[in-house]
Copies of this chain bind each other. A is one copy, B any other.
Amino acid sequence: MTWDVLNIIGTIAFALSGAFVAIEEKYDLLGIYVLGLVTAFGGGVIRNLLIGVPVTTLWEQELLLKLALLAMTIVFLLPASLLSSWKRLLIFFDAIGLAAFAVQGALHAKAMNLPISAIMIAAMLTGIGGGIIRDILAGRKPLVLREETYAIWAILAGFLIGIEVVNSSNSLHLYLLALLVICLRLLAVKYNWRLPRRSFS
């Protein structure tokens, strides 16, 4: 139940992040819907492809699809003055989405009896795959590969589920893990954490 709520919040937040990027790129209404949908559902599709879950499970998520379309339509109709304050709130919702998606991605891979490396990659792809497709469709370099610790927390969730520190059949464990991911993500934004980088010179 609570899990569904996290998932709904995450899906809407991801869809809105796609819609905002599309608006920034001056895409039209169709572009807004397409970018929103790929951000919300693209990560899960790539993960399912790679871990062998049928991609058609996508079509069983009609409620999420409708909520995402509804949220994007509301944003499209809102006055510009309201949009900017929404964008700040989005960072918080987006952290919930990252947590919900990463944990679910890891659980899917775990259920397929895949090795830890696959569980970590599945958690990461579910968390960041949609955002990467969004940025590519917007003609941008994927933000998550450049400037954020974003993906690390998804990988961490996969790792903790993979080594069974987090018991994947214990709801309380999973909620605490999601909460941990949310907190780490928000701390990373607040204190501007960065990953190391190299240069050739």
Tell me, in angstroms, the Cα distance from A54 to B50 when the chains sit together.
9
* Interchain CB contact (< 8 A) of A59 among B84, B118, B145: B118
Q: Interface on chain A toward B: helix, strand, loop, or mixed SS? A: helix
B51 touches A52 (CB 8 A): no
Cβ of A194 within 8 Å of any chain B Cβ, yes or no, is: yes
B52 and A49 form a contact (CB under 8 A): no
* A22 contacts B by Cβ under 8 Å: yes
Please report the C-alpha to C-alpha distance between residue A115 and residue B59 in the assembled complex, in whole angstroms. Answer: 7
Residues 53-91 of A, flagged 1 when their CB comes within 8 A of B and 0 if not, give 011101100100110000000001000100110000000
Give Cα distance in the complex from A55 to B53, angstroms: 10
Judge if A30 is at the interface, Cβ distance under 8 Å: yes
Q: Are A55 and B62 touching (Cβ within 8 A)?
A: no
- Docked Cα-Cα span, A129 to B112, in Å, equals 27
Q: How far is the CB of A110 from chain B (nearest CB, A)?
A: 13
8 new A-B contacts, CB < 8 A, other than A29-B197, A34-B145, A80-B199, are A25-B141, A26-B146, A27-B197, A28-B196, A28-B197, A35-B145, A51-B59, A56-B114
Give a binary string over A13-32; 1 marks a CB under 8 Å from any B CB, 0 the rest.
00000000011111111111
